[in-house]
């Protein structure tokens, strides 16, 4: 009789865990969606057809599509980080073994888009070490953190730029943030799981005519970044 009760308790425990993980997976799926959908809409590479599809999706979800602006991204990011911090407090990092893919990337995305990278970077590194998320995501977050601290990045995943007008003309800077060991960056990128070189990556984010140049922190500090006339080609 005791064995039967113990077995029943075990079965119920497993069932509860499965239900909990399924609920968590659904919550993360929703978080993932709202983190990405507006960013996809505002992405310069998103086609007019896809933007129309996104508007229809959002309309069905009760969004006033006549008032879509970047403020909605900020609002969703603020709501998502609150949800994510509660999830982390209860589950730790909800990785691949707990919720599967692509939901294992949801928490990473929200943190990457927040001001709390420094707080959670150790957690992200541990998740990467355990293969709960791809290591390239760890590398990308570490690069973002280093750049935000005014330090050299490692893997070259962070671009930087500015846009302004002066005397009726448009100007811009666009460059890959300084890298600690630029001579070996492509080797490090490959080891981290990136599938393109730093030169190819630069063209992906800034257009086919972009030419990668090595800049130092001193170059940034002393405004020695090349200035180009005109708006970004994709704007």
Which tens digits make up the pLDDT trace of 165-223?
888 889 899 999 999 999 999 999 999 999 999 999 999 999 999 999 999 999 999 99
pLDDT for residue 201: 97
What is the structure's pLDDT at 6? Answer: 52
- pTM (two decimals): 0.85
Lowest-confidence pick of 34-38, 72-76, 91-95, 229-233:
229-233
Confidence of residue 153 (pLDDT cuts 50, 70, 90): very high
* Three-state DSSP class for residue 229: strand
Q: What is the pLDDT of residue 21?
A: 84
Question: What DSSP state is assigned to residue 105?
Answer: G
Segment 73-80 mean pLDDT: 96
Characterize the bridge pairing of strands 228-229 and 159-166: unpaired
CA distances from 194 to 58, 176, 205, 210, 224 (A): 32, 15, 15, 19, 29
Q: Give residue 223's pLDDT.
A: 92
pLDDT of residue 218: 97
Identify the pLDDT of residue 1: 61
**Buried/exposed 100-137: b ≥16 CB within 10 Å, e otherwise:** eeebbbbbbbbbbbbeebeebbeebeebbeeebbbbbb
Q: Show the tokens assigned to 83.
A: 């949800």
Indicate the pLDDT class of residue 3, thresholds 50, 70 and 90.
low
pLDDT band at 5 (very low <50, low <70, confident <90, very high): low
pLDDT at 11: 44
- Would you say residue 152 has pLDDT above 50? yes
- Band of residue 91 on the pLDDT scale cut at 50, 70, 90: very high
Q: How many CB atoms lie within 10 A of CB 209?
A: 7
CA distances 23 to 78, 82, 86, 101, 132, Å, are: 22, 17, 14, 15, 19
For 10-68, the pLDDT digits (tens) are: 443 443 444 558 999 999 999 999 999 999 999 988 999 999 999 999 999 999 998 89
């Amino acid at each position: 009789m005791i064995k039967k009760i113990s077995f029943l308790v075990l079965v119920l425990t497993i069932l509860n865990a499965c239900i909990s993980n399924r609920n968590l997976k659904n919550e993360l799926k929703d978080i993932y969606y709202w983190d990405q959908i507006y960013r996809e809409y505002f992405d310069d590479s998103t086609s007019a057809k896809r933007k129309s599809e996104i508007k229809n999706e959002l309309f069905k979800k009760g969004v006033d599509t006549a008032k879509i602006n970047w403020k909605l991204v900020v609002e969703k990011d603020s709501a998502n980080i609150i949800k994510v911090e509660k999830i982390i407090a209860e589950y730790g990092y909800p990785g691949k073994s707990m919720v599967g893919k692509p939901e294992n990337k949801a928490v990473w995305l929200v943190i990457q888009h927040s001001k709390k990278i420094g707080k959670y970077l150790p957690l992200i590194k541990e998740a990467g070490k355990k293969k709960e998320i791809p290591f390239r995501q760890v590398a990308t977050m570490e690069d973002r953190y280093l750049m935000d601290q005014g330090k050299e990045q490692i893997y070259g995943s962070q671009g930087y730029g500015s846009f302004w007008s002066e005397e009726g003309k448009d100007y811009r800077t666009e460059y890959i943030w300084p890298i600690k060991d630029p001579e070996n960056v492509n080797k490090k990128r490959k080891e981290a799981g990136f599938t393109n070189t730093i030169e190819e990556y630069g063209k992906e984010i800034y257009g086919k005519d972009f030419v990668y140049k090595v800049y130092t922190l001193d170059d940034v500090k002393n405004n020695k970044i090349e200035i180009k006339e005109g708006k970004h080609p994709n704007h």
